[in-house]
Amino acid sequence: GENVEQHPSTLSVQEGDSAVIKCTYSDSASNYFPWYKQELGKRPQLIIDIRSNVGEKKDQRIAVTLNKTAKHFSLHITETQPEDSAVYFCAARIKAAGNKLTFGGGTRVLVKP
Amino acid sequence: GAVVSQHPSRVICKSGTSVKIECRSLDFQATTMFWYRQFPKQSLMLMATSNEGSKATYEQGVEKDKFLINHASLTLSTLTVTSAHPEDSSFYICSARVGQGREGYTFGSGTRLTVV
């Protein structure tokens, strides 16, 4: 089955700096890669996603890049703000495997004011 | 659009009792519902996939007789934790594909289960 590795597990940045989280996946059949933000005790919230036929996607301060050859994808948050503090999860989906998502281990991001 | 309503949000039960968690798709038909368990400071681990009108598919290591899943309609899937024990205490969350030509998944608000 699919295996998703996520690094780092914790990330502390100064407000205004950039944050980068990296994920690798094992199955080349994965075709959809969402990123979620989860606050304590709440549901995951989709912040950005990318499909396998696209190399990069940007939405204001958030961007995702995908390298299919290397099987890794990254989340980039620029001009970080204290409200960006949360746990971020990457995920990968194999459509042929019932469309289920496999999640990375999560990254706890702390933005220090 | 594409909202999944999950209840209860919190439940405390005694060891040995059963607890039912419901997830309803409010404005779309969820032919498939994914059930996850999340322990504190850990990731979401898929437990099972429920499909409307058929048996659920369980992930390796998940006891199907302990975690009963029913998906009797296109808008309702339930997870029953039977004979709950303290080690079953966790955050349970359901998810469904948005569908209708759109990518993405919508999540329920989660159920915090505490077994005492």
What sign results for the dihedral spanned by CA atoms A42, B42, A100, B114? negative
Q: Which residue has the higher pLDDT, A106 or A97?
A: A106
Nearest chain B residue (CA) to A47:
B104
Cα–Cα distance for residue pair A1/A110, rounded to 1 Å: 32
B23-43 pLDDT, tens digit each: 999 988 888 999 999 999 999
pLDDT at position A6: 98
Cα–Cα distance for residue pair B91/B110, rounded to 1 Å: 6
Per-residue pLDDT for B100 more than 70? no
Per-residue pLDDT for A98 more than 90? no
CA of A18, closest CA in chain B: separation in Å?
A: 23
Report, as an integer, the average pLDDT of A28-52: 95
pLDDT at position A2: 87
| Residues of chain A neighbouring B46 (CB-CB closer than 8 A) | 100-102
Nearest to A101 among B42, B105, B109 (CB): B105
Q: pLDDT band at residue B99, thresholds of 50, 70 and 90?
A: confident
B9 CB near a chain A CB, below 8 Å? no
Tell me if A46 and B32 make a contact (CB, 8 A cut-off).
no
CA of B3, closest CA in chain A: separation in Å?
A: 12
A99-109 pLDDT, tens digit each: 899 999 999 99
DSSP states of B49-64: EEETTS--EEPTT--T
Report, as an integer, the average pLDDT of B56-67: 95
A89 CB near a chain B CB, below 8 Å? yes
Cα–Cα distance for residue pair A83/A40, rounded to 1 Å: 13
Report, as an integer, the average pLDDT of B68-87: 94
Per-residue pLDDT for B101 more than 80? no
A30 CB near a chain B CB, below 8 Å? no
